[in-house]
Structure 1
Amino acid sequence: MFGDMMGKLKETQAKVEETKNRMNTVLIDEQSSDGLLKVTVTASRQIKNVTVDPELLEDKEQLEDYLVMVTNKALAKAEEIYETEVAAVAKDGMPNIPGMDMFK
């Protein structure tokens, strides 16, 4: 029984690592409400692309505000996806031990 649990845990660990690696390829696109700034990040929270409409280049403060706002929104979505995916894989692979429901 203990050997089965250890095997299952190692298998789950491998699946979690595989999921983490896959998150490098999941892209999240976010943009400002007026579409003047677009940011693309991976689910593992790496910025992949930033597109700025030339109109924003005329207002440094607005551009800075948009960069912070849109990037934070994209990173929040990325974190949610990442955590949900990794938790789902980990939960599926955990042995059923009474009283040890770590992923409620």
Structure 2
Amino acid sequence: MFGDMMGMMNKLKEAQKKVEETKKRLDTVLVDETSNDEKLKVTLTANRTFKSIEIDDELLKDKEQLEDYLIITLNKAIEKATSINEAELAAVAKDGMPNIPGMDMFK
């Protein structure tokens, strides 16, 4: 019984370590999103840290239009990054879950 418990605890610690490693790796995964007409481009990490924003000079002439572009493009970029982040972390967590009776809903 205690051997099983120790094995499960070790497996959970390993899973936690893998999750932390994955989070660090996701800092290096870049996600690009561009507006439909390519006047705005944003780059962020899969951990949702913005790295760059490129704005066409034409957009700088119209504050309201620039704001609209930023909202749409940033939201799309964040959605993409979140999807990658959640998929990667879920895969690591799934692999690291010990076989606990009644907890198979996570697999």
Match of 2:72 among 46, 69, 88: 69
User: Which consecutive unaligned segments of at least 5 residues does structure 1 have?
Assistant: none
Match of 1:6 among 5, 9, 15: 9
Q: CA RMSD in A?
A: 1.1
Structure 1 segments of 4+ aligned residues over 4 angstroms from their partners: none
2:84 is paired with a residue of what secondary structure?
helix
Q: Deviations over 1:31-82 (max 9, x none)?
A: 1000000000110011110000111111111111001110011001111111
User: Which consecutive unaligned segments of at least 5 residues does structure 2 have?
Assistant: none
Provide the TM-score with structure 1 as the length reference.
0.94
Provide the TM-score with structure 2 as the length reference.
0.92
**Kindly, what percent of the aligned residue pairs are identical?**
65
> How many residues are aligned here?
104
Give the CA deviation at 1:97.
2.1
2:51 is paired with a residue of what secondary structure?
strand
Q: Larger % of helix: which? A: 2
Measure the CA separation in 2 of the matches of 1:38 and 1:71: 9
